[in-house]
């Protein structure tokens, strides 16, 4: 075990999967000599060559389309979109083709593509480099959506995504790349797609979060602990398929639920978790299900004071915890 950064865990997964399976390839903007805009593919081209590490044109629809064609011909492609904000031109290829491949073929063939996308807000990245896209793709049957919050999960879930016979949207919160560190085995291991993880045990209230919001939620739980509020924090980590059993078990234990997500509050992914709890755990609840989401504005503002107004911080989560615990 070694303590490494989130981005290094992703890079390790690439190297190990390339060595394990000669059919694995990666394509995207600057993934070759540059090693990716964040360094996720650093060193791959020197070790495995240009036939498997492919610098693409600035054309996201083509990146997704080529990957789908590669998958249909026996390869296992990983695509990197430099920012999740730029994935929108590829929406039709991902949703209408990749996600529906198994369904349209009556289970005759799948589409083993991993769509990697750095997502979420970071300081100074403003509205064109900070979007949260998870709700769009979580809505579409046929594609799995994962959002790991730790280096261990980033490596293990990426390996599972690469080995999955169907398309996986792999979301990497940009703020975690170099801020979040954790112990990760150097050898081969996987984390199964599906199960959630309880990161902190508690008795008074459950928080459900993923990505960077998990870390802010853990910080908030620490803040309110001296006040006598015991908070359980559940890392959803796989958005589709959702681990409903773990979520409902936590609500049955604490009887209060707070869903925290960075996306716009209206129609965000957290609304689905809230609906699930309201429908299936209504009689366990001592208070209404509460959502803490981003403001309903077109994007994260560039101006520093407005950026701080937009971001969901541990202080804001702690305030939401106090209000819900008091009900």
Domains of the chain: 2-184 (3.40.50.970), 197-325 (3.40.50.920)
Q: What percent of the chain has pLDDT over 90?
A: 98
Q: Is 129 a catalytic residue?
A: yes
The angle that helices 244-254 and 270-280 make with each other, rounded to 10 degrees, is 60
235 to each of 82, 144, 185, 198, 284, how far by Cα in Å?
Answer: 25, 17, 20, 6, 20
Residue 13 has pLDDT above 90, yes or no: yes
Residue 123 has pLDDT above 90, yes or no: no
The model's pLDDT over 71-80, given as tens digits with 9 standing for 90+, comes to 999 999 999 9
Residue 287 has pLDDT above 90, yes or no: yes
**pLDDT recorded at residue 128:** 92
**pLDDT recorded at residue 63:** 98
Residue 187 has pLDDT above 90, yes or no: no
Q: 241: cis peptide before it, omega within 30°?
A: yes
**pLDDT recorded at residue 44:** 98
42 against 1, higher pLDDT: 42
The model's pLDDT over 216-241, given as tens digits with 9 standing for 90+, comes to 999 999 999 999 999 999 999 999 99
**pLDDT recorded at residue 323:** 98
Strands 231-235 and 197-200: antiparallel
**pLDDT recorded at residue 124:** 86
**pLDDT recorded at residue 9:** 98
The model's pLDDT over 133-144, given as tens digits with 9 standing for 90+, comes to 999 999 999 999
Average pLDDT, the chain: 97
Tokens of 327: 């009900």
**pLDDT recorded at residue 150:** 98
**pLDDT recorded at residue 130:** 94
- pLDDT category, 186, cuts 50, 70, 90? confident
CA distance 266 to 289: 15
35: left (phi over 0), alpha (psi -120 to 50) or beta: left
Q: Which of 14, 23, 129, 215 is catalytic?
A: 129
What does pTM read for this prediction?
A: 0.97
């Amino acid at each position: 075990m070694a303590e490494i950064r989130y981005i290094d865990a992703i890079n390790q997964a690439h190297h190990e999967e390339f060595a394990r399976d000669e059919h694995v390839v990666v394509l995207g903007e600057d993934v070759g000599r540059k090693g990716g805009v964040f360094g996720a593919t650093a060193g791959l081209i020197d070790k495995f060559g240009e036939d498997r590490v492919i610098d693409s044109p600035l054309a996201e629809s083509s990146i997704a389309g080529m990957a789908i064609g590669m998958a249909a011909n026996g390869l296992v492609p990983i695509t990197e979109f430099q920012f999740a904000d730029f994935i929108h031109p590829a929406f039709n290829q991902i949703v209408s083709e990749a996600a529906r491949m198994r369904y349209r073929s009556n289970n005759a063939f799948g589409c083993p593509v991993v769509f990697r996308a750095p997502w979420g807000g970071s300081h100074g990245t403003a509205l064109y480099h900070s979007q949260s896209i998870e709700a769009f793709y979580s809505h579409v049957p046929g594609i799995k959506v994962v959002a790991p919050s730790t280096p261990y999960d980033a490596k293990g879930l990426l390996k599972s995504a690469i080995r999955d016979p169907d398309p996986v949207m792999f979301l990497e919160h940009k703020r975690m790349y170099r801020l979040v560190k954790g112990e990760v085995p150097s050898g081969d291991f996987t984390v199964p797609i599906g199960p959630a993880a309880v990161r902190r045990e508690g008795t008074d209230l459950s928080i459900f979060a993923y990505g960077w919001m998990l870390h802010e939620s853990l910080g908030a739980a620490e803040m309110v602990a001296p006040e006598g509020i015991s908070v359980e924090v559940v890392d959803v980590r796989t958005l589709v398929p959702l681990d409903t059993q773990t979520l409902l078990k936590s609500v049955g234990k604490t009887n209060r639920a707070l869903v925290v997500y960075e996306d716009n509050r209206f129609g965000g992914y957290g609304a689905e978790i809230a609906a699930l709890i309201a429908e299936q755990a209504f009689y366990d609840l001592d208070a209404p299900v509460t959502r803490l989401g981003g403001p309903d504005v077109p994007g994260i503002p560039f101006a520093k004071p407005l950026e701080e107004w937009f971001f969901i911080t541990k202080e804001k989560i702690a305030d939401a915890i106090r209000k819900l615990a008091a009900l």
